[in-house]
Amino acid sequence: MKAVGKPHTLWVAFAKLYENHKDIANARVIFDKAVQVNYKTVDHLASVWCEWAEMELRHRNFKGALELMRRATAEPTVEVKRRVAADGYEPVQIKLHRSLRLWLLFVDLEESLGSLESTHVVYERILDLRIATPQIIINYAVLLEDHKYFEDAFKVYERGVKIFKYPHVKDIWVTYLSKFVKRYGKSKLERARELFEHAVEQTPADAVKPLYLQYAKLEEDYGLAKRAMRVYDQATKAVPANEKLSMYEIYIARAAEIFGVPRTRRYMNKQLSLGFHTRT
């Protein structure tokens, strides 16, 4: 506990000494002792478990590596928690099951070596523990999509947008909306509109422009031109002052392409009334 450095690296080096001399049995003995040490931080203990699992992978003991991750991420029993509470002394082992580092390795191993069901269980456990990151949400959804469980994937995205706020939720929204539109196109247009409306409502002004452009593209491709113009109009009001000019330029350019130049006068007048000047 007084060490300035990281004592767990000594245990790892000790185990690797045996591994380098092809004595895997004794390397495992060292790792087993190492994971029982009370380190300063949970991350130090998690590092030892990960090094142990990676050693097993190097020697093609895939089942052993998975079993190690199951052991490492197992929540302490009620009896253990009660004993720790009574002692008034909490070793890092008690918090190990919440280590994101361990869960990331575990889910990676399950995706590579396990089944869809076993991987699903690991992802769900990560969500239950509330230690998921936006990237984990996206990875989980993509896994389900790859196995054709599209609605389940969209439910995962839904959970993600409820868990996270900006700026962390941005990538989830962009991915979710893109995947939904690509999957359903015109067939579930109303639902797509609801998703976009929900997304732009949640998004702060300085980050909302790309979502509005995506929303307008949906209307242009699968909806009505008038609705697309309405979305562009909403966007000009929602974006911050420093983006209004560029948003109006996009608005007018799309109107000219869709309706022709004469119809753009109305939009030009609106722009000029707000004191903007175009380069045309």
pLDDT for 274 equals 52
pLDDT for 278 equals 44
Q: With bands split at pLDDT 50, 70 and 90, how would you rate the model's confidence at 261?
A: low
R_g of the chain, CA atoms, integer Å:
27
Q: Where are the alpha helices (DSSP H) in the chain?
A: 8-20, 24-34, 42-58, 62-73, 78-87, 100-113, 116-128, 134-146, 150-163, 170-184, 189-202, 209-222, 225-238, 241-259, 264-273
- pLDDT tens-digit map of 64-105: 999 999 999 999 888 777 777 777 678 889 999 999 999 999
pLDDT for 99 equals 95
What is the share, in percent, of the chain residues with pLDDT greater than 70? 92
- pLDDT tens-digit map of 165-214: 888 999 999 999 999 999 998 899 999 999 999 999 989 998 899 999 99
Are 189 and 223 in contact by the 8 Å Cβ rule? The answer is: yes
Domain ranges of the chain: 188-280
99-113 mean pLDDT: 95
131-140 mean pLDDT: 95
Around Cβ 161, how many Cβ atoms within 10 Å? 18
CATH topology of domain 188-280: 1.25.40
Q: With bands split at pLDDT 50, 70 and 90, how would you rate the model's confidence at 245?
A: confident
What's the mean per-residue pLDDT of the chain? Answer: 89
pLDDT for 263 equals 61
User: In angstroms, what CA-CA distances link 73 with 46, 96, 100, 267?
Assistant: 10, 7, 10, 59
Q: With bands split at pLDDT 50, 70 and 90, how would you rate the model's confidence at 256?
A: confident
- pLDDT tens-digit map of 46-62: 999 999 999 999 999 99
pLDDT for 22 equals 95
Q: With bands split at pLDDT 50, 70 and 90, how would you rate the model's confidence at 257?
A: confident
pLDDT for 280 equals 43
Q: Which amino acid is at 16?
A: K
Lowest mean pLDDT among 36-50, 121-135, 266-280: 266-280
pLDDT for 262 equals 61
Q: With bands split at pLDDT 50, 70 and 90, how would you rate the model's confidence at 229?
A: confident
- Taking phi over 0 as left and psi of -120 to 50 as alpha, with beta for the rest, 42 belongs to alpha
pLDDT for 271 equals 56
Q: Is the pLDDT of residue 18 over 90?
A: yes
pLDDT for 279 equals 45
pLDDT for 277 equals 47
